[in-house]
Amino acid sequence: VARTASRPLAAGDISTFQSFVFLGGQLSLALCVLLCLNYYSIVLGAASLSLVITYPLMKRITYWPQLVLGLTFNWGALLGWSAIKGSCEWSVCLPLYLAGVMWTLVYDTIYAHQDKRDDIIIGVKSTALQFKEDTKQWLSGFSLAMVLSLCMAGMNCNQTFPYYSSVAAVGAHLAHQIYTLDIDKPEDCWKKFASNRTVGVLLFTGIVLGNL
């Protein structure tokens, strides 16, 4: 699409072969990290490969590639816990994983609205094209599910007041983000997408302070 035409591979600054060499290097480093973990985490990490491989194809198959991205991108919610504990506490990990998936649906749907005109022309699918003018209602539902899942994860691991304060701040931030979003202005979509860094900082701060 026009917005990404200057990226190295699309612009021809690097060859397809060079990109595969780089990918091989990244995967090799990732494997080295994975093999340093316990056996449970090694198996759990390897289980994500099917999602990693299939995600790039999803936007040609389904209008929900953002969901597959969420399932893929948030695997760390499971792997991070198992790397420390040697197994997953599912009453905590699954709500945390679901919250991450819902969050990805929020920010990546906003992101996809930047390219919807080009996507229609080239035949690429997205939740932005699926939701159309109902996008804000869908994003509100995903945000509510995210906040409730974060609360459930917190309750199941005995989190404290700072954590719940940060979850409330995350909810307020998402509400403002969605309320002020203009899905027909790519520059506003980018601004709202980028503002999700604040969501991450708020939640991370709440987790750290809650545990301290």
**pLDDT tens-digit readout, 58-89:** 999 999 999 999 999 999 999 999 999 999 99
Instruction: Give the contacts of 195 (CB within 8 A, at least 6 positions apart).
Output: 173, 177
How far is residue 64's CA from residue 173's CA, in Å, rounded to a whole number?
24
Q: pTM value?
A: 0.91
208 CB contacts (<8 Å, ≥6 apart)?
A: none
Helix axes 39-46, 16-35, angle to 10 degrees: 150
- Average pLDDT in the chain: 95
How do the domains of the chain map onto residue ranges? 16-210
Confidence of residue 31 (pLDDT cuts 50, 70, 90): very high
